[in-house]
Structure 1
Amino acid sequence: MATQLNNSVSKAFDILRLLGRGREVVSAADVVAELGMNAVTAHRFLKTLEAEGALVQAAKGSYRLGYMLVDLGDRALEQDRLGQLLQPLLEDVTRNLREASMATIYQAGMVVCVARARSQRSLSVDIRVGDKLEAYCTAHGKMWLAHISAREREKYLSSLRFTAMTGRTITSRDMLEEEIELSRKRGFSYNLGEREEGITAIAVPVLTHGGRMVASLSMFGPTSRIDRETLDAAIDRLKAAAAEAALVLYGKGLTE
């Protein structure tokens, strides 16, 4: 027997999704035009969502997302929970590519490992859950810097004190900004021995339907084993894993 769904709940989420497409506010007229509701029903849904804290009235007749949703989102993406959800995907990535993999979140200018799968090969790199890495010299960090808000990125860059970890570390703001922009455009980022000599990494973002980055996935290992063919294979596998992660986190309806 097919599961019976509550249409009112579905309609409420349809309204909330209108605000996940680059739109800051929504009105009853928007709901009527885009969702086909009548004006009275649209108004009632908006007022109910406002009363529950999911929406906040930005101006007369227009609403923005409320902080109740931010609170729920923070709880849903709590480090331990996120790591648990992503761990099986990392295990598959490492099994396929035969190199270590990792998932991170971004906190105060650092990337934090929330899950990782270790390679069984004799020469491997050990990163542990909870480890924090610098953003400017890591593949994960570049990807995060490409997706945080312009204001947050400016705050990070203006206070950054570059340290040359290796001879390959980027130590110029202009060069780092170019790398960040390139990472955003191509959808993946490299670390070619920039934090540790002889270590290569490639990372991709996990995005919501609205384009917000919620995690980063990477493959990494000794440069001596990671050639161009390995990197190309890693890009495809990591992007597939990121799509799977979005499906696990948000379901089919929000990733199509």
Structure 2
Amino acid sequence: MATPINHSVIKAFDTLDLFSAERPELSAEIVARELQISYATAHRFLVTLESAGVLSTVRRGIFAPGPRLSRLGQMADDLAPLPRALQATLDHLRQELNESVMACRYTPRGPICVAVSQAQRPISVNIRIGTTLPMLPTAQGKLFLADMAPRARQSWAVAQGIDPEGVQALALQLDAVRAQGFARNRGDNEPDIAAVSVPVRRDGRTVLTLSAFGTLGRLDDAFIQNATVKLMEAAAALAQA
């Protein structure tokens, strides 16, 4: 005899699926309308998810993703396997660009390097796998911030002890980053070190960043233009894979 399914659990996840970058908050009215359930049932789902820490109340009757949901999402990203072609892709980019190349994943503390291919020159810039970069002054961090809705950026800043007004001041810059599809760092994090980074996007969100990095003098505008094209091509191929 088949094990019966708990449909309330399924409805709870259906409720969470209603969140999006365009709709970062939910009410019982929205849930009831879109899931075609009663207002009372929708309200009960939301309150129960809040009591479990999956949702948070932002104001009376309005709910947003809570800390437990953020932890579960981060755990899913941490446990997700890297693309099989990632290291080969980085090695190919490093040969074409003659600069070091790396891939980063998101963590709340900042992008973490998960793979790297170091330039084969006597003097080059390198980074160790497992190094966490700061979010605000790096090209990789700007890509992840640009991928967040404004409310999510504010919540991230508060959780990390960063002045939300400082993050808000970057809004126009982050909008430009998202629109152009790449970000640059010209000595913002480390003097004389530059980088250009592009997102690897899947299901509408940035899951990895690909970056070429090196000394500020070598990463001039001509290099950035060429590298951006090649990084974007590689990111598109990885997203398909």
The alignment's TM-score, normalised by the length of structure 2, stands at: 0.66
Sort the Cα spacing of 1:60 and 1:195 in 2 relative to 1 into closer, same or farther, 3 A: closer
For residues 154-165 of structure 1, what are the structure 2 equivalents within 5 Å? Answer: 154-158=154-158, 159-160=161-162
2:14 aligned with 1:56: yes
Structure 2 residue runs of 5 or longer lacking an equivalent are 16-30, 37-53, 55-69
Matched position secondary structure for 2:189: coil
Find the aligned partners of 1:89 and 1:59 in 2 and give their Cα distance. Answer: 46
Q: CA deviation at 1:207?
A: 0.8
Q: Which residue of 1 aligns with 2:187?
A: 193
Q: Is the 8 A contact 1:103 1:218 kept in 2?
A: yes
Find the aligned partners of 1:92 and 1:241 in 2 and give their Cα distance. Answer: 9
Q: Is the 8 A contact 1:134 1:141 kept in 2?
A: yes
Matched position secondary structure for 1:81: coil
Q: Which residue of 1 aligns with 2:221?
A: 228
Sort the Cα spacing of 1:198 and 1:60 in 2 relative to 1 into closer, same or farther, 3 A: closer
Matched position secondary structure for 1:133: coil
The alignment's TM-score, normalised by the length of structure 1, stands at: 0.62
Find the aligned partners of 1:146 and 1:241 in 2 and give their Cα distance. Answer: 20
Q: CA deviation at 1:177?
A: 2.6
2:81 aligned with 1:81: yes
Find the aligned partners of 1:51 and 1:157 in 2 and give their Cα distance. Answer: 34
Structure 1 residues 79-137: Cα deviation after superposition (integer angstroms, max 9, x where no partner): 68316542221111111111011111111141111111111012211211110010101
Q: Is the 8 A contact 1:83 1:103 kept in 2?
A: no
Instruction: Select which of 236, 241, 245 maps to 2:234.
Output: 241
Find the aligned partners of 1:157 and 1:125 in 2 and give their Cα distance. Answer: 29
Structure 1 residues 170-211: Cα deviation after superposition (integer angstroms, max 9, x where no partner): x95465333212111111000000111111100111111x42
Q: Which residue of 1 aligns with 2:146?
A: 146
Find the aligned partners of 1:154 and 1:91 in 2 and give their Cα distance. Answer: 37
Q: Is the 8 A contact 2:154 2:168 kept in 1?
A: no
Q: Which residue of 2 aligns with 1:251?
A: none
Find the aligned partners of 1:204 and 1:104 in 2 and give their Cα distance. Answer: 10
Matched position secondary structure for 1:132: coil
For residues 1-256 of structure 1, what are the structure 2 equivalents within 5 Å? Answer: 53=10, 56=14, 58-59=31-32, 62=35, 77-78=77-78, 81-82=81-82, 85-158=85-158, 159-160=161-162, 173=167, 175-208=169-202, 210-248=203-241
Find the aligned partners of 2:71 and 2:83 in 1 and give their Cα distance. Answer: 19
Structure 1 residues 209-253: Cα deviation after superposition (integer angstroms, max 9, x where no partner): x421111111000112121111100110010011011011xxxxx
Structure 1 residues 27-46: Cα deviation after superposition (integer angstroms, max 9, x where no partner): xxxxxxxxxxxxxxxxxxxx
Sort the Cα spacing of 1:174 and 1:56 in 2 relative to 1 into closer, same or farther, 3 A: closer
Find the aligned partners of 1:71 and 1:194 in 2 and give their Cα distance. Answer: 29
Matched position secondary structure for 1:122: coil
Tell me which stretches of 4 or more aligned residues in structure 1 moved more than 4 Å.
50-55, 70-77, 171-175
Percent pairwise identity:
32
Sort the Cα spacing of 1:61 and 1:160 in 2 relative to 1 into closer, same or farther, 3 A: closer
Sort the Cα spacing of 1:74 and 1:174 in 2 relative to 1 into closer, same or farther, 3 A: closer
Find the aligned partners of 2:182 and 2:81 in 1 and give their Cα distance. Answer: 25
Find the aligned partners of 1:71 and 1:172 in 2 and give their Cα distance. Answer: 24
Structure 1 residues 7-64: Cα deviation after superposition (integer angstroms, max 9, x where no partner): xxxxxxxxxxxxxxxxxxxxxxxxxxxxxxxxxxxxxxxxx9x69959636547738x
Matching residue's letter, 1:131:
T
